[in-house]
Amino acid sequence: MDVISSVYGNNKASLMQCGKPAFMLHSPSGHSIFAVTNPGTYKYIPTNIEAIKKEASMNHDASFAFVARTEDGVEILKWYVLCALEKDCMAPPGAQLQCKFKDGRYKNYANCHRYDQSVINLLLSNSYGYDIKNYISSLGEEGAVISREAATDLSERNFSCSLG
């Protein structure tokens, strides 16, 4: 059974009509999934190669995701974890983080791999019709800001579960 069938079964059309799925990414990376995915990953996660070269399948950062605990959200996470447990799926031989973009950032492989980011983008693209409109939040800068700088004003209290 492929990922699309196992995620949606016969309910794919009604799930797409609700507007947003159970698993959403937020920040575009500015290149295709194809450009930053080591070809070895396709052995474990078959995909439509031509579709993931298009801007409609733009890669998104995996550092911030919204995942609702629904049947389809859990199913996508299951495949994500299964890939992580198979070393050559998440980290194929020869994979390297440093990219070498040459002629554009979409149609050509940049000889790099984004590991977990590549895998989750492949799974989401495969599951949601190779169109980012079906699995991005569209929150904009006001809704989701990712700061990659260390916060100096956090304490243990910021991470406690107390209600007071």
Query: Binning pLDDT at 50, 70 and 90, where does residue 40 land?
Result: very high
Q: Does 104 reside within a domain?
A: yes
Q: Does 17 reside within a domain?
A: yes
pLDDT tens, position by position, 59-77: 998 888 888 888 989 999 9
**Contact in structure between 20 and 94 (CB atoms under 8 Å):** no
Report the pLDDT value the prediction gives residue 65, as an integer from 0 to 100.
87
pLDDT of 6 above 80: no
Q: Which domain holds residue 57?
A: 3-159
- Report the pLDDT averaged over residues 134-151: 68
Higher pLDDT: 92 or 143? It is 92
Q: What is the pTM of this model?
A: 0.76
Q: Does 125 reside within a domain?
A: yes
How many domains in the chain? 1
Q: Does 67 reside within a domain?
A: yes
Q: Does 57 reside within a domain?
A: yes
Q: Does 164 reside within a domain?
A: no
Write down the mean pLDDT value for the chain. 83
**% of the chain with per-residue pLDDT over 90:** 54
Q: Does 121 reside within a domain?
A: yes
Q: Does 100 reside within a domain?
A: yes
* Sign for the pseudo-dihedral over CA of 105, 110, 112, 115: positive
DSSP assignment of the chain: --HHHHHHTT-HHHHHHTSS-SEEE--EEEEETGGGS-GGGGGTS---TTGGGSGGGEEE-SSSEEE--SHHHHHHHHHHHHHHHSHHHHS-TT--S-----S-SSSS--S---THHHHHHHHHHHHTTT-GGGTB---HHHH-----S--SS--GGGG-----
